[in-house]
Amino acid sequence: MNNPITADSMPLSQFFQECRDDLVGFFLRKLHCLDTAHDLAQETFIRLHFCEQRAPSQDRRALAFFIAGNLVVDHIRKENVRARYSPTDTGDSDLVDAVPCLRPGSEQHAIAGQELAAAQAALAELPETHRTAFYLSAIDGLTYAQIGARMGVSDRIIAKRIAQTLKHCRAKRDAQ
């Protein structure tokens, strides 16, 4: 008796050949860009391969389209972020202005030095507990719960101290 080959039992390369056009069509309908559709179809199969290395899927086609749907969402989110933070209507001269200077001049150094001195002065006006909580969060990257455990207080108190620190520093900056 000859068992028919199903999408779940065929080699992944064969499944890719049979399913690629459907995935490209799916991406093309969602994103309206053929190059992006081909790229994301390839990415779908890469991710499908890694998923199946961990555990074989019960329905390979459904898993492929689930991955594809997630890739569409990720792609749209990335495009929205790029659109939000990229300069708009940049001509050649505007593009040069949009690129940050990697070696700031003496004027930028002086401004940065003044801003740093002002921030240090504002922080120095605060209680040690506030400064410590702020430094542990901003510099060491600890969570409020971790800071609270270290300082022997609740994470709610830490949140208040950091909020008060930020409010104080903003007020000092705005007063200048």
When the pLDDT of each residue in the chain is averaged and rounded to a whole number, the result is 84
Residue 100: which pLDDT band, with cuts at 50, 70 and 90? low
Q: pLDDT tens for residues 105-164?
A: 777 778 878 888 888 888 899 999 999 998 888 888 889 999 999 999 999 999 999 999
CATH number of 116-175: 1.10.10.10
pTM here is 0.47
What is the DSSP secondary-structure string of the chain? -PPPPPTTTS-HHHHHHHHHHHHHHHHHHHH--HHHHHHHHHHHHHHHHHHHHHS--S-HHHHHHHHHHHHHHHHHHHHHHHHHHSPSS--HHHHHHHSPPSS--HHHHHHHHHHHHHHHHHHHTS-HHHHHHHHHHHTT---HHHHHHHHTS-HHHHHHHHHHHHHHHHHHHHH-
Say what the pLDDT of residue 175 is: 84
Write the pLDDT tens digit of every residue in 79-89. 888 888 776 55
Categorize the per-residue pLDDT at 15 as very low, low, confident or very high, splitting at 50, 70 and 90: confident
Confidence of residue 41 (pLDDT cuts 50, 70, 90): very high
First to last CA, the chain: 86
Domain map (residue ranges) of the chain: 12-87, 116-175
pLDDT score of 97: 60
